[in-house]
Amino acid sequence: MSLWSWVKDKLFCDLAVDLGTANTLVYLKGRGIVVQEPSIVVINVQTGKIEAVGGRAKEMLGKTPSNVVAIKPMRDGVIADFEIAERMLDYFIRQAMNNHGFLLRPRIVIGIPTGITQVERRAVKDVALRAKASEVYIVEQPMAAAVGANLPISEPTGNMIVDIGGGTTDIAVISLNGVVFNHSIRVASNEMDDSIIQYLKKKYNLLIGEKTAEQVKCQLGSAYPLDESLTMEIKGRDLREGIPRTIVVDDQEIREAIEEVVASIVNAVRIALERTPPELSADIIDRGIILTGGGALLKNLDKRLREETQLPVFLTEDPLTSVVMGAGKLLDDLDLLRKISLE
């Protein structure tokens, strides 16, 4: 390595960030993903001191004393708590950079949902700038995911990508480096967790927390009947007796619990297909629909969409990281980044 290359590596730092409702991922140019943590901050309300961020904060969910609260600064893909979001992003940027000793402020690419307003977009940019970024590029998440999935976005062919995150489901048809059509709904993976909590409360008088609901979704959740039935023991609090209780549920019950959310996502895809220009529709028939985002990992969701749309449906290689990997690739192609980034 030449002296200039060594100096350049030490001075300059480019980052890509997927600032998600459920998880935040940070990609460091030349090194790959260096941060992958839940978007949660635990703060002491009396002192204002941050007690934990990310994975450690998630472990504390539902277990904190009254003077300590767990906050999710992102809601439905947008910033719900500006100050906490800024402190969280600052923490993750420091975590990504400190291990490598860079001297200058980073240039950052951030992925955002397609359906957010100009004000919400500006808030994301401001948070990044206040968290010590030198330059901020805003890219729509489906576009970043398409780059991450190696789709030919620069060609005159239609590529449909469905990005199911924690707070939003973004559907976009991409051609010639632009989003030709997009449809976004604020229904996604987190709503599945809420539906499971409400279902168990109503059917079994059992109260469970968010963390348990997420575990149930990951283990039993499905959008289409499974080949083999699955069961799981769930521990919670009996609402009648007020004491701890354990029940056993199966995948069919959880499928019933989340059906309304899954149906909303399927319906959003159908709306997007109906409104896509005919020439691009022909491309989608040939190329199919690409699923990405953490919510795409729901068992048999691809099968359900295939059944409902009669189109080929594919999952990206790693749905959880497609957006941040795509944003990371854009750091190597600044011309393309400038073409597709939003003001």
Which residues, other chains included, contact 60 with Cβ-Cβ below 8 Å and sequence gap of 6+?
Answer: 42, 51, 52, 68, 70
Whether 99 contacts 57, CB under 8 Å: no
Q: Are residues 13 and 114 in the same domain?
A: yes
CATH number for the domain including 114?
3.30.420.40
pLDDT of residue 242: 93
* Predicted pLDDT at 214: 96
- Residue after which a domain boundary falls, among 209, 234, 257: 257
Between CA 169 and CA 295 the distance in angstroms is 9
Going by the DSSP 8-state scheme, the letter that residue 323 receives in this structure is H
* 278: in domain: yes
Identify the sign of the CA torsion 163, 275, 264, 73: positive
Read out DSSP for 80-102? S-HHHHHHHHHHHHHHHHHTTT-
Q: Higher-confidence residue: 201 or 97? A: 201
Per-position b or e across 124-144, b if 16+ CB within 10 A of its CB: bbebbeebebeebbbbbbbbb
Q: In this model, does residue 281 exceed pLDDT 80? A: yes
Q: Is residue 131 pLDDT above 90, yes or no?
A: no
Residue 1 scores a pLDDT above 60:
no
Do 283 and 327 share a structural domain?
A: no
Residue 263 resides in a domain: yes
136-173 pLDDT per residue, tens: 999 999 999 999 999 999 999 999 999 999 999 999 99
**Domain closes at, from 257, 283, 303:** 257
171 & 264 share domain? yes
The verdict on 202 and 297 lying in the same domain is no
User: Do 70 and 125 have their domain in common?
Assistant: yes
More confident residue, 7 or 337: 337
- 309 and 332 together in one domain: no
Domain presence at residue 205: yes
Are 165 and 307 in the same domain?
yes
Task: Say whether pLDDT at 4 is over 60.
Answer: no
Q: Is residue 24's pLDDT more than 90?
A: yes
- Whole-structure pTM value: 0.90
Give the confidence band of 103 by pLDDT, cuts at 50, 70, 90: low
Q: Which of 1-5, 107-111, 250-254, 323-327 has the lowest mean pLDDT?
A: 1-5
80 is in which domain, residue-wise? 9-144+322-340
For residues 88 and 98, membership in a common domain is answered with yes
The answer on 63 and 16 residing in a single domain is yes
For residue 97, pLDDT over 90 is answered with no
Cα separation values, 213 from 82, 195, 197, 220, 303, Å? 27, 9, 6, 10, 23
Q: For residues 19 and 91, state if they share a domain.
A: yes
Residue after which a domain boundary falls, among 209, 224, 257: 257
- The CATH number of the domain where 236 resides is what? 3.90.640.10
Mean local confidence (pLDDT), 76-83: 87
Query: Is residue 83, in this structure, part of any structural domain at all?
Result: yes
The answer to whether residue 52 is domain-embedded is yes
122 and 85 together in one domain: yes
Q: What was the pLDDT predicted at 342?
A: 85
**According to the model, what pLDDT value does residue 8 have?**
47
Residues 164 and 116 in one domain: no
CB 118: neighbour CB atoms within 10 A? 9
**Structural domain total, the chain:** 3
In a domain, 3, yes or no: no
Asked if residue 149 is part of any domain, the answer here is no
Q: Would 4 be classed as within a structural domain?
A: no
Binned at pLDDT 50, 70 and 90, residue 105 comes out as confident
Question: How high is the pLDDT of residue 3?
Answer: 45
Confidence of residue 114 (pLDDT cuts 50, 70, 90): confident
Contacts 24+ apart (CB under 8 A), 92-96: 92/17, 92/24, 92/26, 92/35, 92/37, 92/53, 92/54, 93/15, 93/17, 93/26, 93/131, 93/132, 93/133, 95/26, 95/34, 95/35, 96/15, 96/26, 96/28, 96/34, 96/35
